[in-house]
Amino acid sequence: MSSISRRALLAGAAATALATTTRPAWAAPLATADGFAGVNSLGQNGTTGGAGGPVVTVRDADAFLDYCDRNEPYVIQVDGVMRISSKQGVRSNKTIIGLGSTAEITGGGLDLYRRQNVIIRNLRFTGADDDAISIQQSSHHVWIDHCDLSGGADGLIDIVRGADYITVSWNHFHDHSKTALLGHSDSNAGQDTGKLRVTFHHNFFDGTAQRHPRVRFGEPIHVYNNYFRNNTLYGVASTENAGVLVEANYFENVAHPIYSGYDESGPGRVVERGNVYVRSGTPETLGTVVEPRTYYPYTPDSAAGLPGTVPAGVGVGRI
């Protein structure tokens, strides 16, 4: 008698339900990636995730990881808490989205290694034993939206080793130190220069200490309409000749809102405009930066209203 594969067992018996391929109601209203994840480049027309593939619902970690590891497009709906360890791989052309406000990935994180076209939305990440989300080795077109990230052992989001065309939007970062790293090493200019194009918008950096983000080499990095509050070390750091535009953000109780150069890393270029600084220090600026408008259109909100609109809109259960 032939043996039954682990995948077949999971597909048949792991509390997983296949649904229609029609976009379900929970995907509205922010169903289209904007910022750098929405740019047509590298053979990818924006970021569509698993659109066109089957919609599945997973309620246990084995089924979740099985679908993440499949080569075909899938929309993976997460129902409940997925307890994992280490960094678990996600293949290309996936949408991973939590149902309601209680979907969670805890204990480990997600790793995108030479992947593209991935959407991660409406998920809580807690207690990762490494990075909560790692995007690396030339992965591109990734959208992280409406997540809640806290309490990991290392970074909450690391975007490194030539990753490109990524948007991080409407997320709540809290109870953590090293929030978001772009470019892992001062010695990696050859792989990272001209890459690491990332948009951060409408995120709430809520008492996190540093890296909102910390950037090496990439250009342009667009940081706009974020709310920075009580960040103990610094807000944004541009280093190693990175080009960062910090635009229409609200900094509250941030002694060092913007650095050019940090620790042993050399200075980066940084332009600031339209920001609000409340009980915060003086930003450091240097040089010029490529305009994000050369890649995509956008209209920033007024920075003054962000303490109201951002906390009310970020995190899980809001889409």
- Report H helices in 130-281: 189-192
Residue 171's alpha-carbon distances to 37, 67, 220, in angstroms, are 15, 24, 21
Q: Could you check whether the bond before residue 29 is cis, i.e. omega within 30 degrees of 0?
A: yes
**CB–CB of 106/81 below 8 Å?**
yes
Sign of the torsion formed by the C-alpha atoms of 254, 255, 258 and 263 = negative
Q: Could you check whether the bond before residue 300 is cis, i.e. omega within 30 degrees of 0?
A: no
Whether 70 is catalytic is: no
Distance CA 214, CA 10 (A): 40
Q: Which member of 115, 211, 214, 269 is catalytic? A: 211
Distance CA 232, CA 212 (A): 12
Distance CA 163, CA 58 (A): 28
**CB–CB of 154/179 below 8 Å?**
no
Could you tell me which residues come within 8 angstroms of residue 207 by beta carbon, excluding any fewer than 6 positions away? 174, 175, 229, 230, 231, 232
Nearest to 208 by CA among 242, 239, 173, 241: 173
- Burial of residue 211 (CB within 10 Å: 0-12, 13-18, 19+) is buried
Task: Enumerate the active-site residues.
Answer: 211
